[in-house]
Copies of this chain bind each other. A is one copy, B any other.
Amino acid sequence: MQGHVWSFTVTSAQTWTVGVTGATGYAGGEVCRLLAGHPDLRLAGVHANASAGRRLGELQPHLLPFADLEVRPSAPEDLAGYDVVVLALPHGESAAIAAQLPPDTLVIDCGADHRLEDPAAWARWYGSEHAGAWPYGLPELPGRREELAGARRIAVPGCYPTAVSLALAPALAAGLAGPDVVVVAASGTSGAGKAAKPHLLGSEVMGSAGAYGVGGVHRHTPEMVQNLSRAAGRDVTVSFTPTLVPMSRGILATCTAPLADGADPAIDTAAVRAVYEKAYGDEPFVHLLPEGQWPTTAQVLGANTVVLQVAVDPDARRLVVVSAVDNLVKGTAGAAVQCANLALGLPETTGLPVVGVAP
């Protein structure tokens, strides 16, 4: 097997070694999948306390090139010696690990610990002491790409905040929309993780759509508020309702905000499109679809791509922006690899698919 892996991974003068924690879960497993196609990053070790000692292939049968890797624990000493460490752990664990890794080791946290900049927000939503913010891994937001170049500690955004922030930031930054944001997002079940819970059984979710975390209680809400308030230059509120729909992957976010009061001339779809074309025209992973095409999650399945479309509702006086992402790729693992590319000085798109597996 390994021989065949080499044939398409060693195509670079330099290769960085990567260790992945939580490699037996969905986010960590997806990092491994992407590394299998990355020319400059080499998966050198997989870690997960609960499964330590088992072959990765027993737990992630699709990761054939890495099937014989032994899963090791994820204590700091187990993670020493990698050029890059990707943490896909429950919140609250990454700070302690990062503190014991050398400062020149690139540590990329797929968890929530270092996303929020306001310690009070962290304390309210997570009930513990804030571990501090790290450079925020959404390079398509103004000013973020610069913070990531050369960084050695990076916080990967949440999957919902990625879809929502990219959908509304340009309109809010341009003053086209007001602060009363309402978002409803449909997510595939992989966002809920790999822990076996009855309500996540296939029998329960197939043929069924349901809501959860309703009423502003989902922990991704303050991250959306942070990003959109920063974009708007004022406080925004976000009424966020996540829903589970019968698919494994993908987020479809319907994001609305009231049209800015008394805009003159009246804001129309063309005006909004112009703002988004300017914001994302040079972005390799964010695409405003042609007029008349609306995002589907199938378009981005397995890809590090976000697709967007905008509309103005003149009766309801609201802007509606719909975005689609793969929660495990651009929503998590792909963002981690994109950030690693930036931090290591590689071309940002290295090893990242842009074409979804459709149909």
Give chain A's interface residues, CB within 8 Å of chain B. Answer: 1, 3-5, 7-8, 11, 26, 29, 33, 36-37, 39, 57-58, 60-65, 67, 180-182, 184, 186, 188-190, 192, 194, 196-198, 200-212, 214-216, 221, 237-241, 243, 245-250, 252, 254, 256, 258, 269, 284, 287, 289-290, 293-303, 305, 307, 309, 311-318, 320, 322, 324, 347, 349-359
Contacts and interface: CB of A to CB of B under 8 A. Distances in A.
Contacts of A245: 186, 209, 245-247
A214 B309 contact: yes
B203 A190 contact: yes
Counting chain B CB atoms within 10 Å of each CB, the highest count among A58, A298, A300 belongs to A298
B61 A322 contact: no
B209 A296 contact: yes
A188 B204 CA distance: 11
A284 B196 contact: no
Contact of A208 (B65, B189, B201, B298): B298
A216 B64 contact: no
Given A247-B246, A354-B64, A208 B296 contact: yes
Given A290-B57, A354-B64, A354-B65, A202 B246 contact: yes
A315 B224 CA distance: 13
A204 B298 contact: yes
A248 B312 contact: no
B182 A287 contact: no
Nearest to A39: B11
A297 B208 contact: yes
Contact of A293 (B61, B63, B204, B240): B61
